[in-house]
Amino acid sequence: MKAGVVLLAAGRATRMGANKLVADLRGKPVLAHAVDAVTAAGLPPPIVVLGHEATATRAAVERRPACFVIAPDHAEGIARSLAAGIAAVPADWDAAIVCLGDMPRLSPALLRALAARARPDVVIVPCHEGVRGNPVLWGRAHFSRLAALRGDIGGRALLAGLGDAVVELDWGDDSVRVDLDTQAALAAERVRGG
């Protein structure tokens, strides 16, 4: 089974008030942490979905291995960015690991663990202490449902209706629940990282 990463980096970051993906964190842009984790995991170059401030966001990581796709209707909500990413998945991928671009603690080990469990019919959700997080692996059988979403909702809205296709993967740290939605969250992550 083959899996790769769809990295969502098209949002307007309204709660942050600025393009958080290009903000410096420990010497490199926030988005670069996620792209570098994909490379370190030994997975194919990620599909990076761009939209808001696409030129600046792409420039933050364009020297790293990645494929870029524009979500022209990204302003309609995360669902449209997700659809653009899923549409760009190569035919030989059995699953896509959908990841947020603002996850600074994304672990190569977690990406490898998800990819190793890839099947076309499953959805694998990492959990820490009983709380579901990101990224989520979506088997190809579910791509059409993801592409049909509308508005500012992501794939999580589909999970309740998928029954036994959803498998939880226990993860030993809270990295699966950390993203940078606010200036305070970014400041706290900078303090944490020294």
Q: What is the residue extent of each domain of the chain? A: 3-192
Question: Are the beta carbons of 97 and 140 closer than 8 angstroms?
Answer: no
Does the predicted TM-score (pTM) go above 0.85? yes
Residue the block writes with tokens 């949002």:
11
Cis omega (within 30 of 0) on the bond before 90?
no
Q: What is the pLDDT of residue 178?
A: 85
pLDDT of amino acid 180: 85
* pLDDT value, residue 13: 62
Look at residue 77 in the predicted model and tell me its pLDDT: 87
- Give 119-134 pLDDT, tens digit per residue: 999 999 999 999 999 9
| One CATH from 3.40.640.10, 3.40.50.720, 3.40.50.300, 3.90.550.10 for 3-192 | 3.90.550.10
Q: What is the pLDDT of residue 192?
A: 82
How do beta strands 123-128 and 136-139 pair?
Answer: antiparallel
Q: What ranges make up the beta strands (E) of 26-170?
A: 28-29, 47-50, 67-70, 95-100, 123-128, 131-132, 136-139, 166-170
Q: For the chain, list residues with pLDDT below 70.
A: 13-17, 193-194
Looking at the DSSP assignment, which residues form a beta bridge with residue 138? 96, 123
What is the structure's pLDDT at 142?
97
